[in-house]
Chain A
Amino acid sequence: KNQVEQSPQSLIILEGKNCTLQCNYTVSPFSNLRWYKQDTGRGPVSLTIMTFSENTKSNGRYTATLDADTKQSSLHITASQLSDSASYICVVSGRGSTLGRLYFGRGTQLTVWP
């Protein structure tokens, strides 16, 4: 069964600190993995996308890693800011899957305190 699991479910950190969010998936065959940031009541915004051959992808203070062998990904946020408070969703697409079928994790709710 194609699944995407994220941990932790929620996380609270102080402003300026770093944090790492985890994503494990069982989607096969694998095509790509995306991390989205979703502010409350808003649509998800893409942060990074990685294909099978990519290990690391950075976007400013966000760095995503992918281990396709162990089917694990992480999102590292450095020097957190109050505006980083949001839900971070891991989304996996399967190769050859029907157009539109993405597999969503349940998200990690990050709260950054001043």
Chain B
Amino acid sequence: DTEVTQTPKHLVMGMTNKKSLKCEQHMGHRAMYWYKQKAKKPPELMFVYSYEKLSINESVPSRFSPECPNSSLLNLHLHALQPEDSALYLCASSHPLTDTQYFGPGTRLTVL
């Protein structure tokens, strides 16, 4: 299995909602990443997990809360988001000894 899967594909939520994005990979990768991408812009790194521990937090607002329950799963919990948080959220994974990142298809998030 050489792919990263993300669910849901699309998500529409209000500013008072709580929702979660899910990412899964079965390539044995021990590093997993969350990126945010606005239209016509490159992806922006949000979080990096290495061996299920948070290693990088790019000063992301606390309304985004990552979680890595095991080596194959990565979640992003969303609460009290703002309309400007609407974007494509990409998950990626890599083997820790190299840094070739494999990206998932993304979740298109719209905050009303």
Contacts and interface: CB of A to CB of B under 8 A. Distances in A.
A43 B99 contact: no
B82 interface: no
Say which size band chain B's interface belongs to. 20 to 34
B42 A41 contact: no
A43 B105 contact: yes
Contacts of B99: 31-32, 93, 99-100, 102
Interface string B69-112: 00000000000000000001011100010011111111010000
Given A34-B100, A99-B55, A99-B99, A42 B43 contact: no
A45 B4 CA distance: 11
Interface residues of A, number: 23
Interface string A3-16: 00000000000000
A104 to B, nearest CB: 4
B50 to A, nearest CB: 6
A46 interface: yes
A38 to B, nearest CB: 8
A46 B102 contact: yes
Nearest to A39: B105
B100 A100 contact: no
Interface string A34-66: 101000011111100100000000000000000
Given A42-B106, A46-B100, A100-B55, 15 more contacts: A31-B99, A32-B99, A34-B100, A41-B106, A43-B6, A43-B91, A44-B103, A99-B55, A100-B45, A100-B99, A101-B45, A102-B45, A104-B42, A106-B41, A107-B42
Interface of B: 4, 6, 31, 33, 40-43, 45, 48, 50, 55-56, 88, 90-92, 96, 99-106, 108
Report the 10 A-B pairs with minimum CB-CB distance, sorted nearest first.
A104-B42, A43-B103, A100-B48, A43-B105, A44-B103, A43-B106, A43-B104, A43-B90, A42-B105, A100-B56
5 contacts: A41-B108, A44-B43, A101-B45, A102-B45, A106-B41
